[in-house]
A and B are shown apart, each in its own frame.
Chain A
Amino acid sequence: MNENLSEIITACKQGSRTALGKLYELYYESLSNAAIRYAFDSSHAKDLVHDTFVSCFKNMNQFRGDSNQLLPWMKRILINKALGQYRKNKKIESTDFVGYEQKEDKGVDLNENIFYSDIILIINKMNEVDRLIINLSIVEGFSHKEISQILEITEANSRKRLSRAKVNLIKLLKMHQVNKV
């Protein structure tokens, strides 16, 4: 697999569109899932994936790592693009997540009948910065120092916002549960 991926990378560097097609097949899912988490609506998520593949193909010559580092590199490009958009439109509110489906959410019961879909619904309704912090910290595993640099906030602020976001998430989940019942 790694050998194949190396060949694909080499072919992409030479400008082969076929190789890019194969790369698209391999990483489409990972990147589109990541895009959904960072985008503020479905069209923005699509644009992120589109721009990421185009950027990767055009700048493949700048990729110096081995085949295992390709996906993180592409993800990083995607995140950078999302953050760039966030910096441009800081006032954009997160709404309109129509068009997403939960692939594993077939009655998965967490604690006290909480579903993944409920968590996602609440997170998507949260503040843009809080959502980004949850993504960067919990999903991607960035440290608060890194998050503070990315979002241009203080480290303490990042920590405080994450803990508040989690508290809010639980509160909202409880309210949501009550409403459902």
Chain B
Amino acid sequence: MSLSNQDIKKAMLSQSSDWDKQALWQEINDTLDQPNKKRFAWFWLFGISCVAIGLSAMLTISFTEQKNTKTVKTNQQTPNKKETQTTIKQITTPSKETKLIHSQKQVDKTIPVITNSRTTSTKRENPPKTNVTVNKTQATDYKHPIYKQQKITVNPSSIIHKQSTKTQRPSNTRQTVKSTSSTVSPIEGKKYIDLKENKTAPSIQQDKSTSIPVSDLEIAESGDLIPSKDPFLVSKEADQLIQNTLPSSLTDVSKISKESKRYSVPKWEFIPSFGLNQTIQNYTRINFDEKEIAKPGIKLSTTIGLEISRKLTPDFKARSGILFYTKKYKTQFQQSKSSAASNSYNLSIPLMVEYELSIGKINPYLAGGVGIDYYEPLGGSLYLLNTIKGYGIVQTMYNTGWSVSGLVEIGTHFRLFKQKISLAVLTDLSRERVVDANYYGVIGENLGNVSGTSYSNGNSVSLRLRYHLPIARKKAVYDYLNISK
């Protein structure tokens, strides 16, 4: 027996397949119509990045708020312990270095004492040699808004004046500080303050009701007192002042009357939510031989969300975040006796404005806005079983793309176990484009035709339960005060 390579080659080439050529072509088309995985990955990456940035921003804000609250608390505690303490000791700062600088500032501004920079500040680099003059007139002009409201005039220079009268400071002392002068006190000829040992001026009495540390005011190059760049630095002292001057019923948030409770809403809120979503899909096929409208398909699915809200005014809030909800529906076309079923998900970025009312213990609200939606098939996508056209096959259709939806939400806030919860009904009105991938699936018959395009109005109503996680409560008192004005 002889078997040449040619015989083997001929035998091998004689094989042929008996598969369904059209079915395979259909599979190829289906695969090509599948959403681009890379694009999908980029989308998720973008989404996750947005959420991460949002979270980090919120955490930063929260951290800053907490830090400032701690500082204010510390400042509030000090005068209770030692009422006769001087301004220098009232300012408690975390680090020694800062304390030293603060103290030096106090001495520089409040006491007409000439100090030697070498003995007081070891880490300061070349203190300015130019004379820093406190302009009395301009300093008097400065009034913090809160002080204005409460008719309390805060004038650092006038405070100094009061102090100087109390301590019977020599009349020939000036409001000018020279950094290059000697350390000798003009009163007794002794070393006046030893900042290294953290000693304070013994003779200065603190007027608790009106004093405000000058450290919260910065000295401009011209020598004028200007408000600190960080408004909170001023407000924390203002807070202290309010604590000391106003009745406790006003300053204590817990004692604020029920009517004003809604004003103590935190400025920033982090709102995770969960809900049930009812999709009502009105489906229309347009690009086919005839226009067909299906019966509305209704199915229940779930929705989860993560939002951030910010109070704009006492009544209005802005809200945004990310909502993820699945959309399911099954519908039937009357004309072609075909049916369609969809299983997709939507990622929506809502941009909403919320108006809140206060009726007794509940706070109903109305919110409206737009949502930027991305919809993508989940698992089975959209199937269309068309029996009339003779295909006799389940056709896969893909609804993938972007759309803009209108959002209307009605709900109410309430308290449950001291936690703020809200229950709302969100209506989402959107329009999606659906591509019928298999319209040209039958080779020889429909090859060359454009793909079938359909539109569906993917309206949905969802019942959402949301939990409000406060991020910052600090502004509550001021908000209340602003309103009471």
Contacts and interface: CB of A to CB of B under 8 A. Distances in A.
Interface residues of B, number: 30
A120 B11 contact: yes
A18 interface: yes
A33 B13 CA distance: 7
A35 interface: yes
A45 to B, nearest CB: 7
A57 B32 CA distance: 9
Contacts of A134: 8, 12
B147 to A, nearest CB: 69
Contact of B16 (A22, A29, A112, A138): A29
A174 B27 CA distance: 42
Contacts of A42: 17, 19
A173 B2 CA distance: 11
A166 B3 contact: yes
Contacts of A120: 11-12, 14-15
B443 A25 contact: yes
B95 interface: no
Interface in A1-49: 17-18, 20-22, 24-25, 28-29, 32-33, 35-37, 42, 45-46, 49
B28 interface: yes
Contact of A138 (B1, B5, B32, B440): B5
Contacts, number: 114
A116 B14 CA distance: 7
B49 interface: no
Given A36-B15, A169-B3, A21 B447 contact: yes
Size band of the interface chain A makes with B: 35 or more
B32 A17 contact: yes
Contacts of B440: 17-18, 21
Given A25-B443, A53-B28, A57-B32, A170 B1 contact: yes
A138 B3 contact: no
A139 B28 contact: no
B8 A138 contact: yes
Contact of B18 (A37, A57, A101, A170): A101
Given A53-B28, A54-B32, A100-B16, A119 B1 contact: no
Nearest to A110: B7
Interface string B422-460: 000000000000000000100100011001000000000
Nearest to A118: B11
A36 B31 CA distance: 21
B2, B15, B16, B443: residue with the most chain A Cβ atoms closer than 10 Å: B15
A29 B16 CA distance: 8
Contacts of A174: 1
B17 A35 contact: yes
A46 B24 contact: yes
A109 to B, nearest CB: 11
A107 B322 CA distance: 69
A138 B31 contact: no
Nearest to B17: A32
B15 A100 contact: yes
A105 B10 CA distance: 11
Interface in A87-130: 99-105, 110-112, 114, 116, 119-120, 123
B18 A18 contact: no
Given A100-B15, A100-B17, A111 B1 contact: yes
A161 interface: no
B19 A46 contact: yes
Interface in A57-109: 57-58, 99-105
Contacts of B18: 99-101
Interface in B28-84: 28-29, 31-32
A36 B28 contact: no
A173 B8 CA distance: 12
B25 interface: yes
B1 A114 contact: yes
A135 interface: yes
B291 interface: no
A50 interface: yes
A111 B2 contact: yes
Contacts of A49: 24
B309 to A, nearest CB: 44
A53 B447 CA distance: 17
Nearest to A123: B12
A143 B64 CA distance: 72
Contacts of B32: 17, 20, 54, 57-58
23 contacts: A17-B29, A21-B440, A21-B447, A32-B19, A35-B17, A36-B15, A36-B17, A37-B15, A50-B28, A50-B31, A100-B17, A101-B18, A102-B15, A104-B14, A111-B3, A114-B1, A119-B11, A123-B8, A135-B12, A138-B9, A139-B12, A169-B8, A170-B1
Interface of B: 1-3, 5, 7-19, 21, 24-25, 27-29, 31-32, 440, 443, 447-448, 451
What are the nearest 9 A-B pairs in CB distance? A119-B11, A116-B11, A32-B17, A103-B16, A104-B14, A116-B14, A36-B15, A21-B447, A138-B5
Given A45-B17, A120-B14, 15 more contacts: A17-B440, A24-B25, A32-B16, A33-B16, A42-B19, A50-B31, A57-B28, A101-B18, A110-B3, A111-B2, A112-B1, A120-B12, A123-B11, A135-B12, A139-B12
